[in-house]
């Protein structure tokens, strides 16, 4: 199961994030499990998103995405 968050977040790291901040806490990314692009509803003017499925230091699995320059926390897996 997963929880849909879809909220902008701050990240650190250059091309790929190393940490991100959510609800005042810092999460460190220890492994990137998967990465992909999602074009979405291009016919409605939606902009392409770059997704990461990562594992954090506290052993959580989350999905992040970048749209233009802004990163978002997309999903948190149970």
Partner 1 sequence: MAFIHLHTHSNFSFLDGASTVKELVQKAAASGMPALALTDHNNVSAAVSFYREAQAAGIKPIQGAEITMQDGCHLVLLAKNPRGYASLCQLLTRAYLNSPREDPRVSWPALENCREVIALSGCRRGAIPRLILQGNFQQALTTARRLIRIFGRENFFLELEPPLFPGSNRLNRYLAQLATELNIELVATNNVHYHSKARYQLQDLLTCVRTLTTLNTVHPERHLNGEYYLKSAAQMKALFCQYPQALANTESITSRCQPVFDLEKPRFPQIPFLKNENSAAVLRRLTFSGAKKRYGKLTQDLTDRIEHELSIITNLGFCDYFLLAWDVARYARQEGIRYAGRGSAADSVVAYCLGLTEVDAYNRNLLFERFMSLEQAKQPDIDLDIDSRHRDKVARYVYDTYGQEHVASVCTFSTFRARSAVRELGKAMELPEEMLDTLAKRLPHIHADRIEQVWPELPELRELDPRPFKKLLHFCHQVAGFPRHYGTHPGGLVISREPLTNLTPLQRSAKGVVITQFDKEGVEDLGLVKLDLLSLKTMSAVEDTAVNIKQKDKNFDYEAIPPDDRETFSLLNSGETIGVFQLESPAQRALQQKLQADNMEDIVASLALIRPGPIKGNMVEPFVARRLGKEPVSYLHPKLKPILEKTYGVVLFQEQVIEIATAIAGFTPGEADRLRRVMSHARSYTEMEKIGQQFIRKAKANGVDPATAKTIYSYIMGYASYGFCEAHAAAFATTAYKTAYLAKHYPAEFFAAVLSNQPMGYYSPNTIAQEARRRGIALKLPDINKSTGKFTVEDNSIRVSLAQVRQMNQKVMENILTARKHGPFRSLADFCRRVKAPRPIIENLILCGAFDQLHPNRKQLLWQLPHLLKETDDGLFTTLPRLQPVPDFSEVEKLDWERWILKMDVRQHHMARWRKKLQQKNILTTAEAKGVEAQSTITVAGVVITPHRPPTRSGKTVVFFSLEDETGLLDVTMFEKQYQRFGHLIFNQFRPPLVVTGTMSGNSLIFETAKTLI
The tally of CA atoms less than 13 A away on the side-chain side of residue 33 is: 10
Contacts of 27 (CB under 8 A, 6+ apart): 19, 20, 21, 56, 57, 58, 60, 62
Residue 14 binds to partner 1 (criterion: CB under 8 A): no
- Convert residues 35-64 into a mask of x (bound to partner 1 by CB under 8 A) and - (unbound): xxxxx-xxx----x--x-x-----------
Distance of closest approach, residue 23 Cβ to partner 1, in angstroms:
26
Residue ranges that bind partner 1, judged by CB under 8 A: 33-39, 41-43, 48, 51, 53
């Amino acid at each position: 199961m997963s929880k849909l968050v879809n909220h902008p977040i701050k990240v650190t790291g250059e091309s790929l994030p190393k940490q991100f901040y959510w609800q005042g806490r810092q999460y460190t990314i220890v492994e990137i499990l998967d990465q992909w692009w999602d074009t979405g509803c291009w016919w409605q003017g939606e902009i392409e998103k770059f997704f990461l499925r990562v594992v954090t230091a506290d052993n959580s699995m989350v999905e992040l995405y970048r749209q233009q320059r802004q990163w978002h926390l997309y999903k948190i897996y149970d």
